[in-house]
Amino acid sequence: MEHVDYAIDDRAPARPPVASFPVVEDEPRELSRAERLTGAPGRIFHIACVLGVVGVLWAASSPTGLSLGAPAAWPGFACVAVWALRLGIGAWRRTMTAAFLTVPLLAGVVGVAQYLDIPQETRWMQAQNGFENALRTLPTAKQWDQKVADETVPGRIGSYRVGAVTRDGSGAAQFQLGDGPFGLTSDSGAAFTYLVDGPTEKVRQANPGASFSHLHGNWFIVRR
């Protein structure tokens, strides 16, 4: 058997080197400001909504009830409006995500708290002792002196501004409220009154057109 030697021919042209190119991955496109504002809600929007919920709960703590005109509630209402706009755009673009569920959950918390009167009762608890102390210092119904009453009752009790204190025709003392701190709640138009027997017919006749709602213990809210 013939032995064959295989040799490399030096005269053969060299093979060109195989070119190698770095693999460049496509970077995600940066979203425009308009796309960020109209896309799925993010962390900053949710933080703003939580702060808005705090404002709505504070507005709901007013003795007159939650009002659209209360400045404290405006950020919360604005969050709901922006969320509704984003929801519509997300449904149109078919880009719905679980992030859209946060605002409805927060709204549900506010709704339950409002239904159970938690904001009003929580705010009242921090001021109840102050109103009871002020009530003890007032002149009696038979010896009522408006000037003494005005000088006795402070202008602020807890987080409530007291505009005036009066006694109605039945002899019940009423603490007339002014607007809340910084005008964020519309407390004016309501009063706190202490009624041992509740809003009897005599009390209602002395306050025509007024509505009474139980607050805590023998304390009631008078709304006109």
Average pLDDT, rounded, for the chain:
82
Structure tokens at 214: 């139980």
Q: Tens digits of per-residue pLDDT, 114-145?
A: 999 999 999 999 999 999 999 999 988 888 88
Give yes or no for residue 15 having a pLDDT over 90.
no
- pLDDT band at residue 22 under the 50/70/90 scheme: low
Structure tokens at 137: 């210092």
Q: Tens digits of per-residue pLDDT, 146-202?
A: 888 888 888 899 989 998 898 988 889 999 998 766 666 677 789 999 999 999 999
Give yes or no for residue 102 having a pLDDT over 60.
yes
Instruction: State how far the alpha carbon of 14 is from the alpha carbons of 20, 62, 79, in Å.
Output: 18, 90, 71
The set of residues, in sequence order, having a beta carbon less than 8 Å from that of 88 and lying 6+ positions away, is none
Q: Tens digits of per-residue pLDDT, 74-86?
A: 899 999 998 898 8
d(CA 15, CA 98): 58
Angle at alpha carbon of residue 55, lines to 194 and 47, rounded to 5°:
150
* The pLDDT of residue 157: 92
